[in-house]
Amino acid sequence: MKRIIFILCVFISTHASALPIPSAPNLKARSYHLTDFHSGTVLASKDADLKLAPASMTKIMTALIVFRELRHGNLSLSENVRISEKAWRMPGSRMFIEVDKFVSVDDLLHGMLVQSGNDATVALAEHIAGDEATFAQFMNQVAKELGMINSHFMNSSGLPDDDHYTTAKDLSILTRALIIESPELYKINAIKEFTFNGITQQNRNKLLWRDSTVDGVKTGHTEDAGYCLVSSAVRNNMRLISVVMGTESIEARNNTNQALLNYGYRFYKTHLLYKAQQSLSSTRVWKGAQKTLPVGLAKNLYLTIPRNQYKALDASLEIKPRLMAPINKGQKVGSAVIKLKGEIIATRPLIALHKISEGSLMDRLKDDALLMLE
């Protein structure tokens, strides 16, 4: 028997077709990747799987681990950290902490994310894992968990190492996890300057001054990596994540990220099509204590499509025929299929929104008789 198909909504524009979307700008960087935060749609990309040195963008992974430790109660912002000689001696950008002094986790987080302090970063890594080498193992475990298949970390700060690398795509995955898991702590990335021990330093992400919609994330620079930046912005409830690696200057990394963000917002729009656990339809259930079952999606369904194309969407539900009780809440019972101008752009599992137990003997006998007549 064919699947039962319910047409939820069909929007077909009767007006002239929308203007075509231009191709993404061809920008001078070794690699870049622009994605929508909610839908995961890739809007522009160049060599996104190319393994490159991440420099201080490594600190996004360190931050994710620190945020997780805070969220799980293994760490507190007020907790004091003793500064080791190794942390104190770290080269490169620094927070200017002092050996054998105690500094709060809160201050170290600000020193790492606002000032890009390598000393603060190592102090946090040692406090969590005992030493930086063990912390790097932790980083690689988290990378594997997130599906960052082209990344490997040797240290917490991003200092050069031949075996320390990641990709623009993997950094996009990492940044999305950072924002989803700890939205309040993520806000540290938007702070423009931080003062510690009488020394005020500005955030190296100059897009925070240039574009009021930008709220992060992290810069990076070494001779090998070039000038890099992971940026994120929110305009009209649409968040984009832009990763740029290997530009020639600070201005170039700023301009490249800005160009990617502007392209994404100018030509695309993200829509929340259906909410999680929302009843999209109901279907007949046989031999159950109840006869009808509401169905919906387990997660919000976001779509990022070219602007002015919403009316060209075609959404339908394909529900399995002859559903028999018992049915568990969350059980897959079909699929939601979304098309744009006849092309499938998204498919999601349809699930049962509540449990239906097996009916009584009389219920089952009645339904057996009805099924024989179908």
Residue of higher predicted confidence among 374 and 211: 211
Geometric angle at alpha carbon 153, from 150 and 158, rounded to 5°: 115
pLDDT at 19: 65
Q: Would you give the DSSP letter of residue 329?
A: T
Co-location of 240 and 337 in the same domain: no
* 22 located within any domain: no
Overall average pLDDT of the 108-135 stretch: 98
Instruction: For residue 272, give the amino acid letter.
Output: L
The residues pairing with 366 across neighbouring beta strands, listed in sequence order, are none
Co-location of 98 and 200 in the same domain: yes
Co-location of 46 and 178 in the same domain: yes
Place of tokens 């510690």: 196
Co-location of 188 and 222 in the same domain: yes
* 20 located within any domain: no
* 259 located within any domain: no
- Size of the chain, expressed as the number of residues it contains: 374
Contact 297, 336 (CB under 8 A): yes
Geometric angle at alpha carbon 41, from 177 and 243, rounded to 5°: 60
Query: pTM of the predicted model, to two decimals?
Result: 0.90
Co-location of 290 and 240 in the same domain: no
pLDDT digits over 145-188, tens only? 999 999 999 999 999 999 999 999 999 999 999 999 999 999 99
Place of tokens 């946090």: 124
Geometric angle at alpha carbon 21, from 231 and 251, rounded to 5°: 30
Count of the separate structural domains present in the chain: 2
**What CATH number corresponds to the domain at position 343?**
2.60.410.10
- Return all residues near 33 (Cβ < 8 A) that are at least 6 apart: 42, 44, 45, 46, 48, 168, 169, 171, 172, 242, 243
Co-location of 39 and 8 in the same domain: no
Contact 227, 245 (CB under 8 A): no
pLDDT at 186: 98
**What CATH number corresponds to the domain at position 230?**
3.40.710.10
* 167 located within any domain: yes
Co-location of 292 and 209 in the same domain: no
The domain in which residue 308 lies consists of: 4-14+273-373
pLDDT at 11: 41
pLDDT at 368: 65
* 94 located within any domain: yes
pLDDT digits over 36-63, tens only? 999 999 999 999 999 999 999 999 999 9
* 260 located within any domain: no
Co-location of 105 and 229 in the same domain: yes
* 177 located within any domain: yes
Tokens of 3: 């699947």
Co-location of 117 and 230 in the same domain: yes
Which positions are catalytic? 56, 59, 116
- What is the Cα–Cα distance from 25 to 172, expressed in whole angstroms? 19
Co-location of 207 and 164 in the same domain: yes
Is the pLDDT score of 305 beyond 70?
yes
Co-location of 224 and 281 in the same domain: no
Residue of higher predicted confidence among 18 and 353: 353
- What is the Cα–Cα distance from 103 to 315, expressed in whole angstroms? 55
Co-location of 218 and 291 in the same domain: no
Is the pLDDT score of 331 beyond 80?
yes
* 267 located within any domain: no
Is the pLDDT score of 10 beyond 50?
no
pLDDT digits over 214-233, tens only? 999 999 999 999 999 999 99
Contact 60, 243 (CB under 8 A): no
Overall average pLDDT of the 7-20 stretch: 46
Look at residues 247, 282, 307 and tell me which one is the last residue of a structural domain.
247
